[in-house]
């Protein structure tokens, strides 16, 4: 017997009362029949017409866009970007919310994830519930923060024009300017020229130097264009066969600065996108760990060595830092960046594979800054067994953070403080720094 195809509900419209914000840049609503909707472009407390964009009859939930606002929230503003809104650019989630409201919504998401996945209240996590802007980030009221120092433009295959992908789609929203792109990126004028044959064009404007870079990803068999932009740039390309990033001309890296030190960041390597993010995070981590001269430390998922460098400076000649990073080029950069420190070692490989091989059985301090998936139960259990007096967990996903905090609790650690930063204004993304310490025996 053939399974009956479920009826698609895409295009159906429901008038709904919008409930709380959820993780992912949408709010939760229910149809009169009780069907759960994840609605974008709305705010809690609004009454809207929600049009289904994904989902079928009987699905656990449907995705929808608010296409008409019947009763608006007091937190609503006219989206400053003409490309934000239903069916348009998928880059920003909260263009239609006041900046203070955006931070409040992100705080509610972090609180909900901590409660649901780790059973922690804000008080138990040592968090006052606020979401702070990046340190020193002063954007005049009414202006859009232009913070993205790296923008990956998608190219419309028909016209060769640059744009950004629509939400959960391969379709390209052609734009003439991205309002949240840093000035250095906008100055390159990527949107003003044609990129026929390219799949995507990534523009990088270092905030720690004048370095500018463009990374081209050609479609199969396409020839690379001669890149003539409004400023000198180095050009890289993504290899069709190996997916690696290769030099076309200019330096194969950009130079960034944080904590008074210059870091070389090779193409394809990780560096925080907000110009104030690296310093904000280093400050939060160091204030939480309070490193002492002569201590030993781990910097896990260390990228080009941001926290390892900051730790090495503070631990002095008697201290020692081991960084672990899976990216080959990032490891080369980290070794180059921290060349002046005899007692810093960087190992290449996955933390879960390298850490057990090191044979380390104790350490004073740990920083971990994993990718979105988090560190996971096994790695956290291993870390908890090393007896560090403090652990700094830097997290770009509150759900993964909450899961890992629960594993740390199983390993005998408690959260001492949590700080939450809005390093991605206008989007739903948020960055957390949790400082953990062992639960005292008998406490
Ligand atoms: C969020 S970035 C943090 C980088 C660095 N801490 C910084 O702030 O610049 C995560 C890093 O982890 C690396 N990575 C991802 N999975 C890994 C794994 N299983 N083991 C080691 N490194 C990993 C990525 O290549 C990336 O450089």
Domain of residue 185, residue span: 150-205+212-250
* Domain assignment of residue 85, yes or no: no
What pLDDT is recorded for position 1? 53
* 25 and 61 assigned to the same domain: yes
Encode pLDDT of 166-205 as tens digits: 999 999 999 999 999 999 999 999 999 999 999 999 999 9
What pLDDT is recorded for position 205? 97
**Ligand 1 centroid vs 369 CA: distance in angstroms?**
7
* 306 and 223 assigned to the same domain: no
Q: Is the pLDDT at 21 greater than 80, yes or no? A: yes
| Ligand 1 close to Cβ of residue 330 (< 6 A) | yes
Rounded alpha-carbon distances, angstroms, from residue 73 to 18, 46, 68, 69: 10, 5, 13, 9
Which CATH number goes with the domain that contains 59?
Answer: 2.40.50.140
Kindly state the percentage of the chain with pLDDT values over 90. Answer: 90
* 218 and 291 assigned to the same domain: no
* 299 and 431 assigned to the same domain: yes
Question: Is 325 part of any known ligand binding site?
Answer: yes
Q: How far apart are the first and last CA of the chain?
A: 62
**Ligand 1 centroid vs 382 CA: distance in angstroms?**
18
Q: Which residues contact 39 (CB under 8 A, 6 or more apart)?
A: 16, 18, 26, 27, 28, 29, 48, 50, 64, 65, 66
Query: Could you tell me if 132 and 5 are in contact, meaning their C-beta atoms sit under 8 angstroms apart?
Result: no
* Domain assignment of residue 4, yes or no: no
* Domain assignment of residue 52, yes or no: yes
- At 2, the pLDDT band (50, 70, 90 cuts) reads low
How much is the mean pLDDT over the chain? 95
* 272 and 413 assigned to the same domain: yes
| Ligand 1 close to Cβ of residue 375 (< 6 A) | no
| Ligand 1 close to Cβ of residue 263 (< 6 A) | no
Which is the closest atom of ligand 1 to the Cα of 299?
A: 6
Instruction: State pTM to two decimals.
Output: 0.96
Distance between CA atoms of residues 203 and 145, nearest Å: 18
Encode pLDDT of 234-291 as tens digits: 999 999 888 889 999 999 999 999 999 999 999 889 999 999 999 999 999 999 999 9
Strand order in 212-218's β-sheet? Answer: 172-174, 162-165, 150-155, 198-205, 212-218, 234-238, 245-249
- At 443, the pLDDT band (50, 70, 90 cuts) reads low
Find the helix or strand (DSSP H, E) in which 118 lies. helix 99-118
**Ligand 1 centroid vs 281 CA: distance in angstroms?**
15
Q: Is the pLDDT at 133 greater than 60, yes or no? A: yes
**Ligand 1 centroid vs 303 CA: distance in angstroms?**
5
What pLDDT is recorded for position 242? 85
Between residues 443 and 367, the one the model is more confident about: 367
Distance between CA atoms of residues 120 and 113, nearest Å: 9
* 195 and 111 assigned to the same domain: no
What pLDDT is recorded for position 241? 81
Using the 8-state DSSP alphabet, how is residue 213 labeled?
E
* 319 and 340 assigned to the same domain: yes
* Domain assignment of residue 305, yes or no: yes
* Domain assignment of residue 47, yes or no: yes
What pLDDT is recorded for position 4? 73
* Domain assignment of residue 264, yes or no: yes
- Count of alpha carbons within 13 angstroms of residue 136, beta-carbon side: 9
Q: Give the end of a domain, one of 76, 92, 117.
A: 76
* Domain assignment of residue 8, yes or no: no
* 47 and 181 assigned to the same domain: no
* Domain assignment of residue 234, yes or no: yes
Q: Is 396 part of the annotated catalytic residue set?
A: yes
| Ligand 1 close to Cβ of residue 306 (< 6 A) | yes
| Ligand 1 close to Cβ of residue 326 (< 6 A) | yes
* 223 and 287 assigned to the same domain: no
Strand partners, 61: 36
H-state helical runs in 338-422: 351-358, 377-384, 398-410
* 297 and 274 assigned to the same domain: yes
Question: Is 369 part of any known ligand binding site?
Answer: yes
Question: Is 272 part of any known ligand binding site?
Answer: yes
* 261 and 339 assigned to the same domain: yes
Which CATH number goes with the domain that contains 278?
Answer: 3.40.50.150
Ligand 1 pocket mutation pick from 280, 370, 404 by most atoms within 8 angstroms of CB: 370
What pLDDT is recorded for position 304? 98
**Structural domains in the chain (count):** 3
Annotated catalytic residue within 178, 302, 396, 432: 396
| Ligand 1 close to Cβ of residue 153 (< 6 A) | no
* 125 and 160 assigned to the same domain: no
């Amino acid at each position: 017997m053939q399974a009956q195809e479920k009826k698609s509900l895409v295009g159906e419209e429901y008038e709904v009362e919008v409930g709380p914000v959820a993780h992912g840049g949408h709010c939760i609503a229910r149809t009169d029949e009780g069907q759960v909707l994840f609605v974008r472009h709305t705010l809690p407390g609004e009454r809207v017409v929600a049009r289904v964009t994904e989902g079928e009859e009987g699905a656990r939930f449907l995705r929808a866009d608010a296409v008409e606002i019947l009763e608006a929230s007091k937190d609503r503003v006219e989206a400053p970007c003409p490309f934000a809104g239903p069916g348009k650019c998928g880059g920003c989630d909260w263009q239609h919310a006041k900046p203070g409201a955006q931070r409040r919504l992100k705080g509610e998401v972090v609180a909900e994830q901590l409660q649901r996945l780790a059973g922690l209240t804000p008080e138990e996590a040592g968090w006052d519930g606020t979401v702070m802007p990046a340190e020193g980030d002063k954007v005049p009221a009414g202006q859009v923060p232009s913070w993205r120092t790296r923008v990956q433009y998608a190219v419309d295959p028909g016209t060769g024009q640059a744009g950004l992908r629509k939400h959960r789609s391969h379709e390209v929203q052609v734009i003439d300017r991205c309002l949240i792109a840093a000035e250095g990126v906008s100055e390159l004028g990527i949107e003003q020229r044609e990129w026929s044959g390219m799949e995507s064009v990534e523009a990088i404007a270092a905030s720690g130097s004048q370095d500018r870079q463009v990374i081209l990803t050609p479609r199969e068999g396409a020839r690379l264009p001669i890149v003539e932009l409004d400023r000198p740039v180095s050009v890289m390309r993504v290899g069709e066969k190996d997916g690696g990033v290769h030099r076309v001309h200019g330096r194969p890296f950009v130079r960034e600065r944080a904590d008074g030190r210059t870091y070389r960041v090779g193409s394809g390597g990780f560096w925080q996108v907000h110009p104030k993010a690296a310093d904000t995070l280093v400050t939060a981590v160091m204030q939480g760990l309070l490193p002492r001269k002569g201590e030993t430390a781990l910097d896990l998922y260390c990228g080009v060595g941001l926290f390892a460098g900051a730790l090495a400076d503070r631990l002095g000649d008697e201290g020692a830092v081991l960084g672990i990073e899976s990216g080959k080029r990032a490891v080369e950069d980290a070794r180059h960046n921290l060349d002046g420190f005899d007692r810093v070692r960087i190992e290449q490989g996955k933390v879960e594979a390298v850490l057990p091989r090191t044979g380390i059985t104790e350490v004073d301090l740990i920083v971990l800054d994993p990718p979105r998936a988090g560190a996971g139960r096994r790695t956290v259990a291993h870390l908890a067994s090393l007896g560090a007096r403090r652990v700094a967990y830097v997290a770009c996903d509150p759900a993964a953070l909450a899961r890992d905090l629960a594993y740390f609790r199983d390993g005998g650690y408690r959260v001492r403080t949590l700080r939450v930063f809005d390093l991605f204004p206008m989007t739903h993304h948020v960055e957390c720094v949790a400082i953990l310490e062992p639960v005292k025996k008998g406490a």
